[in-house]
Chains A and B, each alone.
Chain A
Amino acid sequence: MIKSVHFQNFRALRSATLPLERFTLLVGPNGSGKSTAMQAFSFVLGRSSFSFQEWLTVGLERSEVVAVRVTWVEDGQEFTTGGELRSSSSFTVREELNTDTPPFYAGKLRDYLSSFRVFSFDAKAIAAAVETTPNPQLGEDGSNLAAVLDALRDSHPERFEELNREFNRWLPEFDRILFETPTKGRKSFLVRMAIGHHRLRASELSQGVLFALAFLTLAYLPNPPSIVCFEEPDRGIHPRLLMDIRDAMYRLAFPENYGEKREPVQVIATTHSPYLLDLYKEHPEQIVIAHKDKQGVHFERLSEKPHLNEILEGAPLGDIWFSGILGGVPATP
């Protein structure tokens, strides 16, 4: 599990440490560095194409260094790895910072970080008919869902049945996911109405239903990615489903609580919605607030705020955060 990510001169993150739990809700207004922070892992893996100048915090001298350090805990041991960019006259020098990590763990951490996905669903992409390929993966925009569901039904029918039951619990108007083959080698999915068994094509479903189905599918995969981020998971979701979305994310992060035997997924959800935040009042250790001030962006774990219980007493957490007194004041709506 990744314990923290430290940023140095990394765009808006001049000097900031993002603490992470198995599940972390990262709260902050737009432009508070949430998305920038989520680029850390591809930076560490050396997969980002940006140059030194594009990463360096605006206004800094070229003599500065851009660096990201990831602290990772595995088998009870702590390892730090990272990447660093510096400018040498006309070209960028990239260095890896994992000198103290034994090769076995360095490789494991690379695999862990490589599996990272940032999901930001798109209704059209989710509903699209797709080519069937072996071992399909869900795209970051939710694309390929039909193929992923179809593969789940074939290889893990019991999981697929459980997913159908949960889908019906979330949205009682529907009782089953079905498939069709619009043209040879392509798949799309449909849902069946509970009453009358009328079928609706994926393209006829609302955005909220499609997003819910994408969340649910990820939560029921036998081998989900090791670490995922959901950007604005409440976007397009009906408020009555927010608690179910939270539980789908918890199912990924805390499989043991849901009778799952697979490895936990480390989940990061980013939001600027007070409504989602209301669901986490009992877990301030899972909430990190992104603040932006003159010195740049800082991350602060809510549970580390002094006198927190006294302050939270009696009012919804979302209201309290929205009021701005916990920091990370939301931009004017």
Chain B
Amino acid sequence: MKIAVVSESPADEAAIKILVDAIIGHETELVSASRLRPGGWPQVLNLLPSIAKALHYHTDAEGVAVVVDSDSSPVHLLDQPANENCDSECRLCLLRNCLGNSLLRVSPVPNRASLRTAVGLAVPSIEAWYRCGLDLHVNEARWTGKLSGERINYSKRSLKVDVYGSDQPSLQAETTAAVEAARRLAHNMDQLSQLFPSGFGCFLTDIRNWL
């Protein structure tokens, strides 16, 4: 299967592909990995329609996996009615709708099935996923508590330091640590979906629906 990955840092592309492979159960082929100019969240949302359309028209990718950090935005609420945002700020809902709307409007290409999509929301950042299995205190429920004012013992910055040994790692150090973490998580999908039932759980379900 051929897939495309959209993430906030090139360091995470390989790691996300490893997670997708683990969910699907065999190795996929990465046909396109999108890089974003430093600029953060709004840029992902602005660019995603162009990326989705280009993947549809110009590549033979069968699926696209998008993973973004939640930062200080809300954690996605499970059990939402379809096509309704759980919160106007929920990035998972915004990305899902954005992808869905963009792909609804593309014209058909002969011999091409419609592009399958999966959206993940790393709460608060993908480093939290990378810490799964090493630090049980890092999970979505904790972060939800923090968003409503509770004191917790980690932050986006401390997660970076824990994963890379620095909050400003080189791209190479970042990639190495991300890939190593993803290989470990590939054997522990259950724990990842238990501790991150919303942001990772939805991603897992989306990808299982590809099969």
Residue positions of A touching B, CB distance < 8 A: 274, 305-307, 310-316, 318-320, 322-326, 329-330, 332-333
Q: Which of B34, B37, B53 contacts A311 (CB 8 A)?
A: B53
Task: Looking at the assembled complex, report how far the CB atom of B102 sits from the nearest CB atom of chain A, in whole angstroms.
Answer: 10
Does B36 contact A323, Cβ atoms closer than 8 Å? yes
Does B171 contact A332, Cβ atoms closer than 8 Å? yes
Contacts of A333 in B (CB 8 A): 171
Does B46 contact A318, Cβ atoms closer than 8 Å? no
> Residue B133 at the A interface, CB < 8 A?
no
A311 to B57, alpha carbons, bound, how many Å? 9
Contacts of A307 in B (CB 8 A): 53, 57, 107
Does A325 contact B49, Cβ atoms closer than 8 Å? no
> Residue B186 at the A interface, CB < 8 A?
no
On chain B, the number of residues with a Cβ less than 8 Å from chain A's Cβ atoms is 22
A312 to B57, alpha carbons, bound, how many Å? 13
Does A323 contact B34, Cβ atoms closer than 8 Å? yes
Does B37 contact A313, Cβ atoms closer than 8 Å? no
By beta carbon, the residue of chain B nearest A274 is B37
Please count the residue pairs between chain A and chain B whose beta carbons lie under 8 angstroms apart in the complex.
63
Interface digits, B32-71 against A, CB 8 Å rule (1 contact, 0 not)?
1111110100010011011101110110000000000000
Q: Given A313-B49, A314-B50, A315-B50, decide whether A306 and B36 contact each other with a Cβ distance below 8 A.
A: no
Q: Which of A306, A313, A315, A320 contacts B57 (CB 8 A)?
A: A306
By beta carbon, the residue of chain B nearest A323 is B34
Does B51 contact A325, Cβ atoms closer than 8 Å? yes
> Residue B100 at the A interface, CB < 8 A?
no
Contacts of B51 in A (CB 8 A): 323, 325
By beta carbon, the residue of chain B nearest A318 is B37
List 16 contacting pairs A-B, 8 Å CB cutoff, sorted by A: A305-B58, A306-B57, A306-B58, A307-B107, A312-B50, A313-B50, A315-B46, A315-B49, A319-B46, A320-B47, A320-B54, A323-B50, A325-B32, A325-B34, A329-B33, A333-B171
CB proximity to A under 8 Å, residues B11-36: 32-36
Q: Which of B35, B49, B106, B107 contacts A322 (CB 8 A)?
A: B35
Does A324 contact B47, Cβ atoms closer than 8 Å? no
Contacts of A306 in B (CB 8 A): 57-58
Does A322 contact B50, Cβ atoms closer than 8 Å? no
Contacts of B36 in A (CB 8 A): 319, 322-323
Task: Looking at the assembled complex, report how far the CB atom of A103 sits from the nearest CB atom of chain B, in whole angstroms.
Answer: 45
By beta carbon, the residue of chain A nearest B34 is A323
By beta carbon, the residue of chain B nearest A275 is B37
Task: Looking at the assembled complex, report how far the CB atom of B97 sits from the nearest CB atom of chain A, in whole angstroms.
Answer: 15
Task: Looking at the assembled complex, report how far the CB atom of A310 sits from the nearest CB atom of chain B, in whole angstroms.
Answer: 6
Apart from A315-B46, A322-B35, list 13 A-B contacts with CB within 8 A: A274-B37, A306-B58, A307-B57, A310-B106, A314-B50, A315-B47, A315-B50, A319-B43, A320-B54, A323-B34, A323-B47, A325-B34, A332-B171
